[in-house]
């Protein structure tokens, strides 16, 4: 255990960061030196004033050590992401859009509860990679594309960024559509396996595209025949 002695008082750095402490620390900006004493006081369990006599160089070293703890990841067992239900996927996607700092506790109710941030963030990063994979696999279904920085964008002329606030509304509309506007069918939809549901949605979209193209051709043929008269 790493210890710090200030004015004859010894404080212990935690060996691992627990999630409540991680959430509290991550409210602050590590890039702002004037916040270092406040950040460190959370980790050491002391008042920020007790760090007032610590030199800037020492604070920098301590904040660097704390940053190292925060960036640790520990591999651990978690939810099999290939077995997510459609409802679990929707919940995770909405919470992820809110931001991990805000929604880490909710996300871990699905990915697997843990006490420590190194395990929790390992699970969330694994989910994030799977999420990107799914969106890439079904990019045509969702009308999505990716910019040069690998950021998801809408398939639109102006490259408008996806609004995180619109994600819950969009998923709710999809669920209602799959449930045929019937409240009693919603649970049946959300309990379906994710990949089964996405494949069905992709098939339905392709079917609609084909039908629209067929109608377009028929309309063109009708206009051509009419012009010949």
| pLDDT number for residue 162 | 59
Distance, in Å, from the CA atom of 147 to the CA atom of 79, rounded to the nearest integer, reads: 30
Lowest model confidence (mean pLDDT) among 61-65, 102-106, 181-185, 221-225: 221-225
For residue 211, pLDDT beyond 80: no
User: Please, what is the average pLDDT of the chain?
Assistant: 87
Bridge partners (DSSP) of residue 154 are: 144
User: Model confidence at 156, in pLDDT bands (50, 70, 90)?
Assistant: very low
Q: How do the domains of the chain map onto residue ranges?
A: 3-70, 81-190
User: What is the CB neighbour count within 10 angstroms for residue 116?
Assistant: 19
Mean pLDDT of 149-171: 66
For residue 222, pLDDT beyond 80: no
Token pair of 2, please? 């790493």
Of 121, 134, 137, residue with least CA distance to 84: 134
Residue 45, sorted as left (phi over 0), alpha (psi -120 to 50) or beta, turns out to be left
User: Model confidence at 206, in pLDDT bands (50, 70, 90)?
Assistant: confident
Mean pLDDT of 65-70: 95
Number of residues written out for the chain:
229
Q: Cβ distance 190 to 90 under 8 Å?
A: yes
- Helix (H) and strand (E) counts in the chain: 10, 4
């Amino acid at each position: 255990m790493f210890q710090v002695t200030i004015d004859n008082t010894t404080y212990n750095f935690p060996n691992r960061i627990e999630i409540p402490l991680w959430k509290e620390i991550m409210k602050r900006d590590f890039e702002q030196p004037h916040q270092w004493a406040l950040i460190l006081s959370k980790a050491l369990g002391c008042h920020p004033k007790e760090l007032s006599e610590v030199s800037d160089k020492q604070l920098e070293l301590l904040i660097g050590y704390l940053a190292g703890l925060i960036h640790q990841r520990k591999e651990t067992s978690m939810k099999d992401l290939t077995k997510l239900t459609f409802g679990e996927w929707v919940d995770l996607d909405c919470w992820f859009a809110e931001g991990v700092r805000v929604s880490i506790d909710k996300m871990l109710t699905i990915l697997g509860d843990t006490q420590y941030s190194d395990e929790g963030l390992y699970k969330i990063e694994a989910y994030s990679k799977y999420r990107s994979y799914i969106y890439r696999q079904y990019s045509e279904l969702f009308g999505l594309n990716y910019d040069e920085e690998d950021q998801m964008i809408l398939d639109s002329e102006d490259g408008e960024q996806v609004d995180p606030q619109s994600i819950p509304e969009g998923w709710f509309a999809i669920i209602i559509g799959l449930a045929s506007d019937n409240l009693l069918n919603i649970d049946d939809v959300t309990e379906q396996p994710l990949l089964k549901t996405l494949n069905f949605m992709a098939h339905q979209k392709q079917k609609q595209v084909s039908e629209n193209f067929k109608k377009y051709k028929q309309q063109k043929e009708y206009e051509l025949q009419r012009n010949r008269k």
